[in-house]
Amino acid sequence: MTSNILPHLKTALAGIELRENEPMREHTSFKIGGAVAAMVLPRSESEFIRALAAMRGLEIAPLVIGRGTNLLVSDAPRDVYVIKTTPELSAVTVDGNALTSACGAPLSLVATAARDASLAGFEFAHGIPGTVGGAAYMNAGAYGGEIGAVATSIRALTVGGEVCELSASECDFSYRHSAFQNAELVILGATFKLKRGDRDEIAETMRDYAERRRSSQPLDLPSAGSAFKRPETGVYAAKLIDESGLRGFRVGGAAVSEKHTGFVVNLGGATYDDVRRVLDHVRDTVYKHTGVQLVPEIKIIE
Ligand SMILES: Cc1cc2nc3c(=O)[nH]c(=O)nc-3n(C[C@H](O)[C@H](O)[C@H](O)COP(=O)(O)OP(=O)(O)OC[C@H]3O[C@@H](n4cnc5c(N)ncnc54)[C@H](O)[C@@H]3O)c2cc1C
């Protein structure tokens, strides 16, 4: 792919916002990441589908992102084309116990809509800072809940440009995994099956989870959430990292959080390499101390 594709892309996407040389650090919760060739910001599903079709026509394989809250992106400028789902792709509708949301909806918005409709089961997602698209891709979860347990179907776009509806079993959800990680499908939206509940109790559960996050997580510093997946042994990565003496371990501007050792935080001016070196050192040291091989949960875009 070469940058002389850009004029063709601009023509094909007339009327859709396209930013050239867009710095990814402005689109990731880590505040890290160099410029990409272009970022397209569709403001409706039809713009989103048009952008994907235009890129397919030009043989561009775009990187689709939501709020960039699970990403570590290289600092080097890259010939990559990004489509970022925007807040305009956030429609949420409720029909009985079913809640349907577009891919760009922040999980907090969906959780609030579920609460307002007295629907229980989505409280776990309220404090996860991503979108429905990113959360379905990651099968995001917290406090015993996860997207795969409440999703009944996911609307997606195939490489061929067809809209399809995948049942939850076709999405192959498991711990921080979904079929979307191995298939070239773009997530357009999701339908969740929730339960009738008491609005005040739902609100109280959401407040409780928010308080637990505030007291245990370094929410005042840029990060991408838990750096590593929970190992199959079931012992939390944070515990293994702490026991390996890595609390506060620092390289440049990146460090293992003092507050929650499962998080790597940007203390200011951290580079991609700083974070990679922290991640590598943590993985190697934990392996040496405990024999457990940690696997990153953060998606690394080199
Ligand atoms: C402070 C903090 C706390 C967090 N707490 C949690 C937690 O409790 N539980 C948890 O699971 N995660 C947590 N996370 C991580 C993150 O918020 C989740 O993984 C979230 O689901 C990512 O959503 P996103 O929209 O930001 O996705 P992005 O980071 O933008 O993308 C993540 C992946 O999804 C893909 N993707 C995004 N949108 C689409 C789409 N429409 N179609 C196809 N692929 C797509 C991207 O290509 C990428 O591979 C936390 C992060 C932070 C910063």
Taking the domains of the chain in order of start, what are their residue ranges? 3-84, 92-202, 219-301
The predicted structure's pLDDT at residue 3: 55
Residue from 71, 128, 132 whose mutation best tests the ligand 1 pocket (most atoms within 8 A of CB) = 128
pTM for this entry: 0.97
Cα 101 to Cα 94: distance, rounded to the nearest angstrom: 9
Cα 27 to Cα 84: distance, rounded to the nearest angstrom: 9
User: How many angstroms is it from 7 CA to the middle of ligand 1?
Assistant: 31
The predicted structure's pLDDT at residue 189: 98
Q: Nearest 5°: phi and psi at 206?
A: -65, -40
Pocket of ligand 1 (CB under 6 A): 29, 63-71, 85, 103, 128-131, 133-135, 137-138, 140-142, 180, 186-187, 217, 219, 223-225, 299
Q: Rounded to 10 degrees, what is the CA torsion of 115, 119, 125, 126?
A: 0
Fill in the DSSP letter of residue 26.
G
The predicted structure's pLDDT at residue 1: 45
User: How many angstroms is it from 258 CA to the middle of ligand 1?
Assistant: 23
Place of tokens 């015993």: 144
Q: Nearest 5°: phi and psi at 118?
A: 55, 40
Active site residues: 176, 226, 297
* CATH architecture type of domain 3-84: 2-Layer Sandwich (3.30)
Fill in the DSSP letter of residue 80.
E
Topology of the domain comprising 219-301: 3.90.78
Topology of the domain comprising 92-202: 3.30.465
Which among 123, 167, 113 is positioned nearest to 144, based on CA atoms? 123
Tokens representing 300?
């690394």
Q: How do the pLDDT tens digits run along the chain, 302 residues long? A: 445 899 999 999 999 999 999 999 999 999 999 999 999 999 999 999 999 999 999 999 999 999 999 999 999 978 999 999 999 999 999 999 999 999 999 999 999 999 999 999 999 999 999 999 999 999 999 999 999 999 999 999 998 899 999 999 999 999 999 999 998 899 999 999 999 999 999 999 999 999 999 999 999 999 999 999 999 988 999 999 999 999 999 999 999 999 999 999 999 999 999 999 999 999 999 999 999 999 999 999 99
Cα 194 to Cα 70: distance, rounded to the nearest angstrom: 26
